[in-house]
Amino acid sequence: MDTAARAKRLEMEGGWTLPGGDPWRTSSPACPVRPPRGFRCVSRAWDALITSPAFEDLHSDRSRHHRRLFLKPTCQNVFYAWKLGGPAETIMDNWRLPQGKIFPITKSCHGIVLLRCLDYDLHYVWNPSANQLLALPDRRPARVAWAGGRTHMIYGMGYCSTAKQYKIVRMYNFDRDLGLHDTVCEVYTLDESTHWRPAATQPHSCQLRVNGRQGAVLCNGNLHFVHTHGLDLLTVFNIHAETFSTMVLPAETRSYSPDFMLTELGGFLCVYHAKRRDHPEFADPYDIWLQRDYEAGQWERLQCINWGSMGEAEIAPLKSSWIAPLDMYYDHGAQKKKILFGTSACKVFVVDPDTGVPEVVFSPEDTIMGDQGNWDSEFPTIGLFEERLASVGRTNEEIIFTSPWARAASSVLMYLPARTVGRLNQVQSPGGFHQRDTPDVPPLVDEGSRVVYSKPCNGLNAGSWAKYDFVCNPLTKYYRAINLGNGKNAASCSSDIQRTPSVALGYAPNIGMHVLVSLAYKEKNRTSRDYKLECKIQLIERRHWVKIDPPSRPMADAPPVYASGKLYWIVDPEFGPTSACSEIIMLDLNTLEFHVLAGPPCGKYYISITELQGEVCVTCSRPSTNTIEIWDMDGNGMWSMRRCIELASFFPEYSSKNTTLLAVNPNDGRILLSTGRSLGYYASKTVELETIYRLDSSIQGKKFVPVLAMDSLVQPCDAVV
């Protein structure tokens, strides 16, 4: 029997289907979520009806037994949905998701699934049927941050039917300086909380097992956390009362630790194997234990899969680094219950516990998902979800600004400088660039020193000086040195790695986080024009680097520039393939993909790249005429010269060779220039230059380094790695 026929039969056995699609039934409580949500715009009465708790409960009751599977292939950053007997469809594209490994760590809880992004250690609550996604405030716990330590957290999610609230729960171990050991539990309530709060009670001290691919398991209104020491013991957290108790696992699981996992199956707590496919004991019988009596703690052992009775050809398609039971349903024809399993290759199969023989009902090869090839993963790729009108809730900002007081206070505070607001312990304040009062003699460096400061990127600056690279907020005095991950500072790395002038700082809008990018030459031969480039990225709130594919062109010895979610570098014309014009490398921080852009027709030498008024520009220095051309690119990729700065009348104080462009005054359009000894505003229309500061002629061999700072309270806090 082929896969389609098996799926059709299973649909008839277990009632796994969605209702018909006639117009009236589409607007009834048993239909999928998206059509009713679309009808909210019909009238206020319809909106009130569809958003009412009574309608949501009725819709949930009708849809409870009409669940679907969501699938996330390892090799794709897309979520698909599939119903037994039907085709697979895309329910969430990659533009909604950060790059990296994303997988569910909980089963669907009243229509909501908890997702984890492993690369960035972010957590999301997701309603697959409504395609709603909300990021959780995954900051390192305050008490851990204050102590300067690190910890690992275990997340879980539950629903309090009494208060009709979704609660996200996280537990972690905290080691005090005195050697005492604490286990801490914190709760975040969707659509209510703006921060993590301590649970009503705290658990006894215990060492929790950290499993990055699974969270705490919800069953009978309780979350279950596994211990590291004494793996037959669980810490149980009651979602409603926020109290703790313990539970003992079946004695047979001790011999399988740590190769067992916990889940919920058919309303029962379940323990199952978690051996890898290359494990020498993979052919052992695949057993699961069900807790038939939750109060009495009685367990029943089921032999689900008898690998030994199967041939290698039958086992091969099912071998996977992740195999897990998804659901237990009743086969009306056979008058017995069967178990649905999923694999990391997005295959779905059914097992009759009496026979122990798997029967594949879904394989991605014949769907829009395509053949998964040899892709395998130890992380979950499949889960069940029910159609539900539940909302993932509002963002912290939306919750905060529902208060009239908050709206009134923000309208006043937004006009105050960041340092003033910071003294009031506010979170952030909109603002812009401003010129601070300077002392008679600012801090000076040697004239030959190379000091690089980036322009502000969402409140932060990156810099490089001597042997140090760093990120900082000049207004709040936040500072952090940048390490390459091998114990060395980026600027002080050994001679076998030659970096670009500084680590680039950007901002990824899709995940709302700052990103560091380090480019280094592992090899460089000017004669043969050969080179070998290495690229690493790091989120500002993490302490580890991740390698990505380097760009196809070499980077020049010029500072990088950030603008509108992208980083830009000038290509070094001395290495790699030759080009008739200048070239620019662009890194899209949303996709982490490099692109090569043709530069303006102004030659390949004496050029640099900068950002002016939010747009990337190329400046071309003409020493023969002592002018600086400013080129920008339109939406069609065509370059045009915007302005030309004529410095001949102001030589030798200002020359095209030693003058840099800092910013454009938003009030009058004048350009702020710096030579390191003079600072002035240049007016293009009148060709006038007003020097607002210069070093005294008696000070020789020194220069100042102007830094643009944004009026911002941004001060990143390291997140859990």
Residues 314 and 422 in one domain: no
Q: Determine phi and psi for 565, rounding to 5 degrees.
A: 80, 10
Q: Are residues 416 and 458 in the same domain?
A: no
Under DSSP, the state recorded for 436 is: P
pLDDT value of position 11: 46
Tell whether 581 and 474 lie within a shared domain.
yes
- 294 compared with 148, residue with greater pLDDT: 294
The first and second tokens of residue 276, run together, are 């890898």
Closest CA to 158 of 219, 212, 247, 95: 219
Could you read off the pLDDT of 608-660 as tens digits, one per residue?
A: 899 998 889 999 999 889 999 999 988 777 889 989 999 999 999 999 989 99
Asked whether residue 532 falls in the same domain as residue 411, the answer is no
pLDDT reading at 7 higher than 80: no
Residue 362, token pair as written in the block: 């879904």
Average pLDDT of the residues in 35-51: 67
28 within some domain: no
More confident residue, 18 or 207: 207
Residue 522 is assigned to a structural domain of this protein: yes
Amino acid 432: pLDDT: 36
Q: Residue written as tokens 């005095």?
A: 477
pLDDT tens for each residue of 501-554: 468 999 998 888 899 999 988 888 888 999 999 999 988 876 678 889 999 999
Q: What is the pLDDT of residues 686-715, one digit of tens each?
A: 999 999 999 988 889 889 888 888 878 787
Is residue 609 situated within a structural domain? yes
**Same domain? 80 vs 10:** yes
Reported in sequence order, the residue ranges of 312-395 that DSSP labels E, i.e. its strands, are: 323-331, 336-343, 348-351, 358-362, 382-386
| Candidate from 204-213, 264-273, 426-435 with smallest mean pLDDT | 426-435
Q: Where is 581: in which H helix or E strand?
A: none
Same domain, 357 and 484: no
Which domain-ending residue is among 582, 614, 646? 646
φ and ψ at residue 421, rounded to 5 degrees: -65, -40
Q: In angstroms, rounded to a whole number, what is the distance separating the alpha carbons of residues 1 and 359?
A: 10
- What letters, b where the CB count within 10 A reaches 16 and e where it falls short, cover 34-58? eebbeeeeeeeeeeeebeeeeebee
CA Rg value for the chain: 30
Lowest mean pLDDT among 328-337, 384-393, 415-424, 613-622: 415-424
For residue 258, whether the previous peptide bond is cis, meaning omega lies within 30 degrees of 0, is yes
The helix or strand, by DSSP H or E, that contains position 412, with its residue range, turns out to be: helix 404-413
Q: Which of 19, 21, 1 is nearest to 10 (CA)?
A: 1
Q: Which residue has the tokens 């008839």?
A: 12
Would 338 be classed as within a structural domain? yes
Between 213 and 188, where is the model more confident? 188
pLDDT value of residue 447:
83
pLDDT value at 381 more than 60: yes
Same domain, 425 and 348: no
Between CA 209 and CA 228 the distance in angstroms is: 4
Question: Is residue 118 included in any domain, yes or no?
Answer: yes
Would the pLDDT of 576 be above 80?
Answer: yes
Question: Strand pairing partners for 123?
Answer: 116
- Looking at the structure, tell me whether residues 468 and 509 fall in a common domain: yes
User: Element (H or E) spanning 410, and its range?
Assistant: helix 404-413
State the pLDDT at residue 304.
Answer: 78
- How high is the pLDDT of residue 593? 92
Instruction: State the pLDDT at residue 465.
Output: 78
pLDDT digits over 406-423, tens only?
Answer: 667 666 666 666 666 555
pLDDT, position 243: 95
Give the confidence band of 231 by pLDDT, cuts at 50, 70, 90.
low
Residue with tokens 């061999």: 701
Domain boundary among 596, 623, 646: 646
CATH number at residue 390: 2.120.10.30
What is the Cβ-side half-sphere exposure of residue 31, based on CA atoms within 13 angstroms? 16
**CA–CA distance, 230 with 246 (Å, rounded to integer):** 12
How many structural domains are present in the chain? 3
In this structure, is residue 302 part of a structural domain? yes
pLDDT score, position 34: 57
Residue 359 has pLDDT above 70, yes or no: yes
9 three-state secondary structure: helix
pLDDT digits (tens, 9 = 90+) for 479-501: 888 876 554 554 444 444 454 54
* Model confidence at 186: pLDDT above 50: yes
- Please indicate, yes or no, whether residues 129 and 153 belong to a single structural domain of this protein: yes
- Specify the DSSP element, H or E, that contains 212: none
pLDDT attached to residue 210 = 81
Q: Which of 202-216, 420-434, 673-687 has the highest mean pLDDT?
A: 673-687
Mean pLDDT of the chain: 79
Which of 203-217, 389-403, 417-431 has the lowest average pLDDT? 417-431
Q: What is the mean pLDDT of residues 326-332?
A: 84
Between strands 122-127 and 113-117, the pairing is: antiparallel
- pLDDT the model gives residue 20: 32
SS3 letters for 15-65? CCCCCCCCHHHHCCCCCCCHHHHHHHHCCHHHHHHHCCHHHHHHHHHHHCC
Name the percent of the chain lying above pLDDT 90: 24
**Residue owning tokens 């993979």:** 282
Both tokens assigned to 603: 């030659």
Q: Are residues 354 and 476 in the same domain?
A: no
On whether residue 43 sits in a domain, the answer given is no
**Statement to judge: residues 103 and 128 lie in one domain:** yes
pLDDT of 127 higher than 60:
yes
DSSP 364: G
What is the rounded (10 degree) CA torsion for 279, 280, 285, 289? -40
The pLDDT assigned to 5 comes to 52
Residue 668 included in any domain: no
DSSP character at residue 118: T
CA distance 100 to 119: 6
Q: Between 280 and 341, where is the model more confident?
A: 341
What span, in angstroms and rounded, lies between the C-alpha atoms of 647 and 140? 51
End-to-end CA distance of the chain: 47
Instruction: Taking the CA atoms of 652, 557, 693 and 435 in sequence, report the sign of the dihedral they define.
Output: positive
Question: Same domain, yes or no, for 414 and 390?
Answer: no
Domain that includes residue 115, residue range: 3-18+66-396
Please give the pLDDT value at position 452: 86
